[in-house]
Amino acid sequence: MSETSTPQPAAAAPNQAAAPPPPSGATFGDKAREGIRRAFSIDELGPLLALIALVVFIGGFHSDFLDKDVLLNTVRSAAFVAIVAYGMVYLLAMTEIDLSVGGIYALCIMLAAKWMSSIDPWVAALLAICVGVALGAVNGILCNLFKIPVIIITLGTLSMFRGLVQIVSDGKPATGIPLDSSFFEKLGGEIAGVPAAAWVVVVLGVVLTFVFKKTRFGAMVRAVGSNHQAAEFSGIPVLRIRLYALMLVGGLAGLAGVLSLAYFQGADPTVGAGFELQVIAAAIIGGTAVSGGTGTVPGALIGALIVAVINSGLIFFSIDSNWTNFVTGAVIVIAVGSDALVRRRRAARALQGT
């Protein structure tokens, strides 16, 4: 994707094109209008409103859906996807897509489970996350070596990593997992009544949002996506940034895998099928455009939650599960289409304002 995208001017993020702050002495009405304008400029607002609307709609018809355990369970199931989707936001901002995240996720789960039968589960988990980072590095090195887009290389590594799962597991589920270890109790259980995975996804979201928006690395990621050539000319080490982003995604896939293992307490060669599509869908539904240059890490969590809420809603409304894929796909189309229209409107308004 990065080789063929049309270079775009490195523009400021759309939300920075909002009207300037009101002058001192502005009335309360002016300030309120300005606040509302800023609020509606937030990238995540649309997906957040959609999520709230969905929860209210489903809860309105089925009050059981608003049960604390149901909502926390929904957050937990979305967390595994959202954690990896955070990394996918970085890649999408660079107009790249990593298709191998499902394979990395599955391989890290299987390796961690296998190692746990002979070493401390916490150490095994850490090693598995390191393997995830290493696999991300493999993707990055291959892309840089052959100078081809990430999506092409990861089309191959997806199958390679999935194949490694079969080889490592010998086609069998992992056995001898020490389920009485504190690893499963702490990471698979709850902390202060909230699933551990939910805590991890929130804290990680805050950290990665800061990195994406406020650090040099994040700025370079966005600059590469905005205009690849301009980024190169300005001295940004594009290939190295891409490598780091892929390592980040790999590490996050490993972390999600380890959390998943802690909760499900088992590892099977079939785990993680279709995971990469869920991750990409979450990032896109959450508001990250595939055109690059921008992205929203919190949006990835919201996107994952939207998909999880919809899937739960189908259950509560007793709708045939055959509708799941159709509904998820339709939500992606609506999200992508809405985002494109909103961005076009903002750009038009920004041009009119200059």
Partner 1 sequence: MRNKRTNKGLLVLAALAALLLALGLAACGGDDDSSSSAETAPESTETGGGGGEEKEQVSVAMVEILTGVSFGQEIAEGMKGFAAEDGAVDLQVQGPPTVEPEVAQKMAADLLATGPDAMGVAPFPPELWTRTMKNITEQVDNYLVFNERPSSLPEDVSAAAIQLFVGTDDKSEAREMLEETIKLAKLPKSFSGEIILGQCVAQEAGVLAQRTEGFDEAIAALIPNAKVEKFTSEVEPQKNTKAWTTELAAHPNAEIATGTCDQDGTSLYKVIQEKGYDLIVGAMELPPEVIAGLKDGTIIAAMGTNWWLQGYTATRMLAEAARGEELPEGWVNTGQQLFTKADIAEVEERASDPASFYAAGVEELFGSGMPEAEPIENAWK
**Which residues of this protein are in contact with partner 1, per CB under 8 A?**
62, 64-65, 67, 69-70, 73, 77, 80, 166, 170-175, 179, 188, 260, 263-271, 273-274, 308, 311-312, 315-325, 327, 330, 333-334, 337-338, 340-341, 344-345, 348
Q: Which lies closer to partner 1 via its Cβ, residue 19 or residue 319?
A: 319
Q: Which lies closer to partner 1 via its Cβ, residue 119 or residue 319?
A: 319
State the DSSP string of 214-277.
Answer: HSHHHHHHHHHHH-HHHHHHTT--HHHHHHHHHHHHHHHHHHHHHHHHHHH----TTTTTTHHH
Partnered with residue 190 across adjacent β-strands are 195
- Answer whether 137's CB lies under 8 Å from 243's CB: yes
Min CB(156)–partner 1 separation in Å: 19
Min CB(18)–partner 1 separation in Å: 18
Min CB(250)–partner 1 separation in Å: 20
Degrees, nearest 5: CA angle 49-54-57: 120
Report DSSP state, residue 7: P
- Rounded distance between C-alpha atoms, residue 164 and residue 170, angstroms: 9
Q: Which lies closer to partner 1 via its Cβ, residue 238 or residue 332?
A: 332
Min CB(143)–partner 1 separation in Å: 29
What are the E-state strand segments in the chain?
190-191, 194-195
Min CB(277)–partner 1 separation in Å: 12
- Rounded distance between C-alpha atoms, residue 303 and residue 219, angstroms: 23
Q: Which lies closer to partner 1 via its Cβ, residue 9 or residue 69?
A: 69
Q: Which lies closer to partner 1 via its Cβ, residue 245 or residue 307?
A: 307
